[in-house]
Amino acid sequence: MIACENEYYDVVGIGFGPSNLSLSISLEEHHANVLTAPLSAAFFERQPSFGWHRNMLLPSATMQISFLKDLVTFRNPVSRFSFVSFLHDQGRLAQFVNRKDFFPPRQEFHQYLEWAESKMANVVSYDSAVTGIRLPPDHTHGPADHVRLDVRDTVGGGTRQIKARNVVVSTGLQPRMPDGITRDAAVWHSSEFLGRYGRTDPAKLRSVAVVGAGQSAAEITKFLHEKLPHAQVHAILPSYGYSVADDTPFANQVFDAEAVDDYHFGDGPARDAFWRYHRNTNYGVVDDADIRHLYQVVYDEDVTGVKRLHYSNLTKVDSVQKAGERRRVQLRSLRGQDLKPLDVDVIVFATGYDTMDPTALLGDLDRHCLRDESGRHRVTRDYRLVTTPELACGIYLQGGTEHTHGLTSSLLSNIAVRSGEIADSIIQRRAEREVVPVAAGTPTAVHETL
């Protein structure tokens, strides 16, 4: 990859989380292995430095996927950017193997991502939020071969424009709050948890509540119970109890790269079956070990008679009102319609996320992006938005493709393969446009040869 002086790039990535970090490596490895002209690429990230869900890097949290599902291995098992290379580099490979555990701590995986990012730092600009994508102003007729992007400097405040032949949108999940409840100094979403907690005096937290029955809720409940021995911890569950995340081998196949084809080329009933039978591999579910830990805490408190962890099951939050520094929460039991007040110092909504939606970023350009009968973007197998002929450049999505590519869309499971497929598609389209010379017998992409 090369930097571009006139800010006219072959590839511009919006967001630099694991997905676009993986894409940057894929483009780099493609160039190193194939005798084609390098692609110019730039990635823009609004955070001041690399960070992967930093506010949920709880001390004892582990990854939910195998270390082998890193940024590269499923595309290129001999990549120097693998988790195994990272361990070797850190002098920790033997110790990791001695653990006999596929799931690294999240803090260690974050270190791995930072290590990989440090090798790609030349392609990313931080404190840089992309605020819009537009057709070039001088575009009048014929297909547009590039778009313009507005990049706002989140520190200095200025906005500059760049041009891109291909855009890869990878802006991540959006925190979801229940209708009618807004965040404030004492009403948090799990996505801001550690940042908020770090700015709070723990001694002042004598009563806290956590809403939700997913992995985030379970981890935060456990954390607060451990860190605040003087506090009452209230877990508010919409369900009867936590449900276990199904990570058994047959079900886990929904995260295989091949499952993307089965989903994408499947008809409506086939796609529905993925969600109906396998939603419990990821959404609203909790690791078995965490469930057992929390149940043991409840049991131990029953035995000792000193109760601090309180569960309200089949319960939702109706409203949250300010009561001085504290908050009065109205709980609505699903058993009846009665409301029960609960006063807390802080309430954490671990109520999940909405999937990525590029509509706002696309602005006016969105009218050139075709939608299906349900109003969702149409996306080709290579993760490219289907557009009207006016738009000849590529707009690719990493995320937000649950309806076209299935359960892996918002996860790490398939990012190595997916980013390779996107790189292939960009390179293939350039070859078709420019007839770039490819040496005889040279593979078109690293991952096709392995």
3-state secondary structure of 386: coil
Minimum CB distance to ligand FDA, residue 56 (Å): 3
Separation between Cα atoms, residue 293 and residue 303, nearest integer Å: 15
Separation between Cα atoms, residue 299 and residue 163, nearest integer Å: 60
* DSSP type of residue 304: H
3-state secondary structure of 342: strand
- Give the x-and-dash track for 298-337 against ligand NAP (CB under 6 A): ------------------xx--------------------
104 binds, among ligand FDA, ligand NAP, none (CB under 5 to 8 A by kind): none
Establish if 284 lies at the interface with ligand NAP (CB under 6 A): yes
Q: Measured from the CB atom, is 115 or 353 closer to ligand NAP?
A: 353
Neighbours of 293 (CB within 10 A): 14
Establish if 52 lies at the interface with ligand FDA (CB under 6 A): yes
Question: Which residue, 366, 321, 296, is CA-closest to 133?
Answer: 366
Size of the site for ligand FDA (CB under 6 A): 29
What are the distances in angstroms from CA 228 to CA 1, 89, 148, 206? 49, 37, 50, 8
Establish if 53 lies at the interface with ligand FDA (CB under 6 A): yes
Length of the chain: 450
Minimum CB distance to ligand NAP, residue 305 (Å): 29
Q: What are the residues whose beta carbons fall under 8 Å from the beta carbon of 201, sequence distance 6 or more?
A: none
Minimum CB distance to ligand FDA, residue 205 (Å): 21
Site for ligand FDA in 129-168 (CB under 6 A): 129-130
Choosing from 30, 31, 106, 447, the residue that interacts with ligand NAP (CB under 6 A) is 106
**Distance from first CA to last CA of the chain, Å, rounded?**
22
105 binds, among ligand FDA, ligand NAP, none (CB under 5 to 8 A by kind): none
Separation between Cα atoms, residue 20 and residue 8, nearest integer Å: 19
Establish if 104 lies at the interface with ligand FDA (CB under 6 A): no
CA 323 to chain centre: 35
Choosing from 1, 11, 12, 17, the residue that interacts with ligand FDA (CB under 6 A) is 17
Choosing from 282, 312, 408, 409, the residue that interacts with ligand NAP (CB under 6 A) is 282
CA atoms 115, 120, 121, 125: torsion sign = negative
Identify residue 303 by its one-letter amino acid code: V
Establish if 351 lies at the interface with ligand NAP (CB under 6 A): yes
Kindly provide the b/e burial profile for residues 254-291, where b requires at least 16 CB atoms within 10 angstroms of the residue's own CB. bbebebbebbbeeeeeebeebeeebeebbbbbbbeebb
Identify residue 169 by its one-letter amino acid code: V
Site for ligand FDA in 55-74 (CB under 6 A): 56, 63-65
24 binds, among ligand NAP, ligand FDA, none (CB under 5 to 8 A by kind): none
- Give the x-and-dash track for 388-417 against ligand FDA (CB under 6 A): ----------xx----------xxxx----
Q: Which stretch binds ligand NAP (CB under 6 A): 5-13, 210-218, 227-235, 413-421?
A: 210-218
Q: Measured from the CB atom, is 217 or 393 closer to ligand NAP?
A: 217
Separation between Cα atoms, residue 214 and residue 218, nearest integer Å: 6
Minimum CB distance to ligand FDA, residue 14 (Å): 5
Helices 415-434/18-33 angle, 10° precision: 50
Establish if 281 lies at the interface with ligand NAP (CB under 6 A): no
- Give the x-and-dash track for 213-232 against ligand FDA (CB under 6 A): ---x----------------
Choosing from 1, 10, 19, 27, the residue that interacts with ligand FDA (CB under 6 A) is 19
19 binds, among ligand FDA, ligand NAP, none (CB under 5 to 8 A by kind): ligand FDA
